[in-house]
Chain A
Amino acid sequence: DTAVSQTPKYLVTQMGNDKSIKCEQNLGHDTMYWYKQDSKKFLKIMFSYNNKELIINETVPNRFSPKSPDKAHLNLHINSLELGDSAVYFCASSQGVNSPLHFGNGTRLTVT
């Protein structure tokens, strides 16, 4: 069974469109995250949710809006996509903020 799964794996879309990436974890973890990995492979945290509440919101354009319908899900919705949004987006979860993160396989977003 996949512990952290995110869909889709690939997403190609045009500028100005709105898209969503879904993430689900079946580990029973309390905390979920979204990370962005740029072309240089540098990982940066975007958001963190603990028990459906936002606890970290790094400097991210407000076009990005996370939504956590329950503890096992953290979806990422992106409005008015721009070329610079092209990257790989990773979802992760952990049992509290002092535990290792478990990652999904990533969603490669390409904005044309």
Chain B
Amino acid sequence: SQELEQSPQSLIVQEGKNLTINCTSSKTLYGLYWYKQKYGEGLIFLMMLQKGGEEKSHEKITAKLDEKKQQSSLHITASQPSHAGIYLCGAGGGGQNFVFGPGTRLSVLP
């Protein structure tokens, strides 16, 4: 079955700094999804990537999928306290069960 790894496991940054979270798959991805989770809440869908080399942006968050479709990165520019939470990558589709990475816990210090 497909497995996803994320790095780093946790991240503490000063407000205003840029940061990157990585997600690596053991198999070629059909679809790669990024979610954010705040404590005590459900997962909020951020972005979905399906094509090799694809890049999408929403406000200050940019996600990329590499050409081989086995690695994705999530980049946050000029981080704010509102960006704090757990970021999870998920993969599924194309007949594969939907699975999640272990998550990256982000703290942003004001």
- A contact set with B: CB distance below 8 Å: 4, 33, 40-45, 48, 56, 58, 90, 92, 97-106
Given contacts A41-B37, A45-B99, A97-B93, 14 further A-B contacts (CB under 8 A): A4-B42, A41-B103, A41-B105, A42-B102, A90-B42, A92-B43, A97-B92, A98-B31, A98-B93, A100-B45, A103-B43, A103-B44, A104-B42, A105-B42
Residues 48-61 of chain B, each 1 if its beta carbon lies under 8 Å from chain A, else 0 = 10000000000000
- How many residue pairs between the two chains, A and B, have CB atoms under 8 Å in the bound complex? 56
**Pairwise interchain contact A98-B94, C-beta atoms closer than 8 A:** yes
Chain A contacts of B105 at CB under 8 A?
Answer: 41
Distance, CA A67 to CA B85, complexed state (A): 32
**Pairwise interchain contact B98-A41, C-beta atoms closer than 8 A:** no
- B contact set with A: CB distance below 8 Å: 30-31, 33, 35, 37, 40-45, 48, 86, 88, 90, 92-95, 97-100, 102-103, 105
**Pairwise interchain contact A41-B102, C-beta atoms closer than 8 A:** yes
Distance, CA A56 to CA B45, complexed state (A): 22
> Which of A43, A90, A102, A106 touches B45 (beta carbons < 8 Å)?
A102
Chain B contacts of A40 at CB under 8 A?
Answer: 102
**Pairwise interchain contact A101-B33, C-beta atoms closer than 8 A:** yes
Chain A contacts of B37 at CB under 8 A?
Answer: 41
Q: Given A42-B102, A45-B97, A98–B33 Cβ distance below 8 Å?
A: no
